[in-house]
Structure 1
Amino acid sequence: MKRAWMDRFIDTIEWIAAGFVGLVALDIFVSVLLRNTLNYSIPDSFDIGRMLLGILIFWGIAATSYRGTHITVDLVWGNVEPRYQRWIDVFATLVLLFVVTVQTWTLFDKVRGTYNDNVQTFDMHMPTWPFFAIAWIGDVSAVLLIAIRTYRLIFHPEEMHDPKLKATE
């Protein structure tokens, strides 16, 4: 039961990240289409697109961190025994957990700062803090998924979803 809940949580985070990819693509498509066909620019299009891209980046970090599908260098890892590969994986994941946790803390400070300073978009004067908050939630999700990955690497490595193994099956 516990494993199924974690897997559903992981899948939900990945679907949310995928939804933001679609939202950013839609925003870019509509903005370019209106600009090139009707010579019309959506108010705050640049600011909204920029903030959506930031949201996408942080949710993308969450989606790739658990699966280990981000960019890796396997020069040493590929040339050592499986036992040492696991140690390297645990160490690398712990470093990633530390870095993303610090990043999440500093991003929360940015959310609080934009809220307290009442930072708004140029055209429509929309508050920007909700965009930062959604990005921060993505970063919190990354911390949770990296913590789950660390737990599984240490205590239940058989529950890991290894894309390298799936590619060779």
Structure 2
Amino acid sequence: MTAGSDHAPKKIGAAGDRFINAIEWLAALFVGIVALNIFLAVVLRKFFDTSIPDSYDFGRMLLGILIFWGIAATSYRGGHITVDLVWTAASPRMKRWIDVFATVVLLFVVTVQTATLFDKVRGTYVDHVLTYDMNIPTWPFYAVAWLGDVSAVLLIAIRTWRLIFHPELLHDEKPEMKADE
């Protein structure tokens, strides 16, 4: 090994961590936007007997955006809800192989989902689908949701690479460690 080679994983790890954090902040931002849309719609309807034009369409599309960016945010950390009876009983080496296999399968599934969602973006663009009240094109909302899915693919790819080559760079939540505390 050369003297500078120890720094390469750290630099790649730091850049990857910044990308991961940016995705998580974007997902959190979309949660805030969805909550604000719902809050404003309820307040306007209840107290002022009016509504935001296209608030239903915006809410529906923002919820889709939130779901796909949420998938991106949870895909990397490994802290989402899992059923891991076999994994819990496995040896540390077998746990790593199970994690690699599961992550590769997840990468394949989300990649196919991303390709399918791109067809939806293209279809809404070509068909010139508009919102009901203000006739705003809907394809940009679908495109932002698709970007969330693309981000999920990238984060899962980073996770896969780290699982295989640099497991020390992972930030998994380890429930077995929490139980030991």
Q: Give TM-score, length-normalised by structure 2.
A: 0.91
SS of 2:174's equivalent in the other structure is helix
**Structure 1 position 2, deviation (Å):** 1.6
Establish whether residue 159 from structure 1 lines up as the match of residue 175 from structure 2.
no
Q: 1:76 aligns with which of 79, 86, 92?
A: 86
Deviations 1:51-90 (A, max 9, x none): 0000000000000000012221111100010100001100
- Pairwise mapping of residues 20-39 of structure 1 onto structure 2 (< 5 A)? 20-39=30-49
Once the two structures are TM-superposed, the CA of residue 4 in structure 1 deviates from its matched residue by: 0.7
CA distance in 2, matches of 1:78, 1:150: 20
The answer to whether 1:117 aligns with 2:127 is yes
The share of aligned pairs that are identical, in percent, is 72
The answer to whether structure 1 residue 63 and structure 2 residue 73 are counterparts is yes
Q: CA deviation at 1:162?
A: 1.8
Q: Does 1:139 align with 2:149?
A: yes
- In the alignment, structure 2 segments of 5+ residues that lack a partner are 1-10
* Aligned equivalents of 1:50, 1:142: Cα separation in 2: 21
Q: Note if 1:15 corresponds to 2:17.
A: no
- Structure 2 letter corresponding to 1:112: R
The residue identity in structure 2 corresponding to 1:128 is: T
Map Cα deviations across residues 103-150 of structure 1 (whole Å, 9 max, x no partner): 000000000000000000011000000000000000000000000000
Question: 2 CA distance for matches of 1:160 and 1:141?
Answer: 17
Answer with 1 or 2: which has the greater Rg. 2
SS of equivalent residue, structure 1 residue 76 = helix
Query: 2-side partners of 1:4 and 1:153: how far apart?
Result: 16
Aligned to 2:7: none
- Give CA deviations for 1:140-166 in whole Å, capped at 9, x if unaligned: 000000000000000111111021267
Counterpart CA distance in 1 for 2:50 and 2:104 is: 48
Query: What residue ranges of structure 1 are gaps of 5+ in the alignment?
Result: none
- Distance in 1 (alpha carbons) for counterparts of 2:168 and 2:15: 17
Q: In the alignment, which of 72, 80, 94 is matched to residue 104 of structure 2?
A: 94
1:163 alignment partner, SS class: coil
Distance 1:119 1:109 in 2: 14
Structure 2: distance between partners of 1:142 and 1:24: 20
TM-score w.r.t. the length of structure 1 is 0.97
Give the letter for the 1:153 counterpart: L
